[in-house]
Every structure is written in C-alpha cells, then in structure tokens.
C-alpha cells in the first residue's frame, strides 16, 4: 500500500541554523501539506500546496518557513533560522485532487532545536 515517507526521522539542530525536512508524498496525489505537533499538544496546520504554489497557510507559517516541490516526487519544508519553539514533530500529508479524499500522513520528523 502506498504511503507518505519522511526524512530524516529525527533532526537535531542549533538555534539559528537552517533545516530542510523532506517528504515524498503518495505518487498520484496532488495536494500536499505540512503540519506540526508540539510535544503533548494537538496537530496544527502549517501550509497547503497545490499546483506548485501555496494555497493556504496558517499564522504559524511566517517568513522563516518556506515549502518547495523541487522535482516530481519530493516536497520540502525549510526553516531558515530555527528557534527553540520550532522543536516539534513535523508531519507531511498528501491527498488526491478530489475534495472528498482524505489526507494521508507520513510518520513525521522530530525536530529538536538546541
């Protein structure tokens, strides 16, 4: 069964450093998402991406964040200058083009900012 994959599973970085989190969505999916989950809290929407552009973003997704689909398979989230409060699990999700379709989530990348 196809699934969303994410790398790395755990990323440790120093405050102020740039990080890139990578995702490979399910191959026939057209909509891509990033969510984050701070330890012990609920999952929060960050950004949605369709047709090579951001379709929606939350207030969390400020100028320090960017997303890119550099090729036909990868979808990345970049944080330019990490802060301590960026420490969280970051989940990638994807779905087909049908509005009725469910989003399928990857296993997540745990980001630890020191």
Partner 1 sequence: GESVGLHLPTLSVQEGDNSIINCAYSNSASDYFIWYKQESGKGPQFIIDIRSNMDKRQGQRVTVLLNKTVKHLSLQIAATQPGDSAVYFCAERRSSASKIIFGSGTRLSIRP
The residue ranges that bind partner 1 (CB under 8 A) are: 4, 31, 33, 35, 41-45, 48, 50, 55-56, 58, 91, 93, 99-100, 102-108
In sequence order, which ranges of the chain are alpha helices (DSSP H)? none
14: number of Cβ within 10 Å: 8
Closest separation between CB of residue 2 and partner 1, Å? 13
Closest separation between CB of residue 75 and partner 1, Å? 15
DSSP conformation class of 102: P
- Say if residues 20 and 88 touch (Cβ distance below 8 Å): no
Closest separation between CB of residue 58 and partner 1, Å? 8
């Amino acid at each position: 069964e196809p699934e969303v994959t994410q790398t790395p599973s755990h990323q440790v970085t120093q405050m102020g450093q740039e990080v890139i989190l990578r995702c490979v969505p399910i191959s026939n999916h057209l909509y891509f998402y990033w969510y984050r989950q701070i330890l012990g809290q609920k999952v929060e929407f960050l950004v949605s991406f369709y047709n090579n552009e951001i379709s929606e973003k939350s207030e969390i997704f400020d100028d320090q964040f960017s997303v890119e689909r550099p090729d036909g398979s990868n979808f990345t989230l970049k944080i330019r200058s990490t802060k301590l409060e960026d420490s969280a699990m970051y989940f990638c999700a994807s779905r087909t083009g049908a509005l009725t379709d469910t989003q399928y989530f990857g296993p997540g990348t745990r980001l630890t900012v020191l």
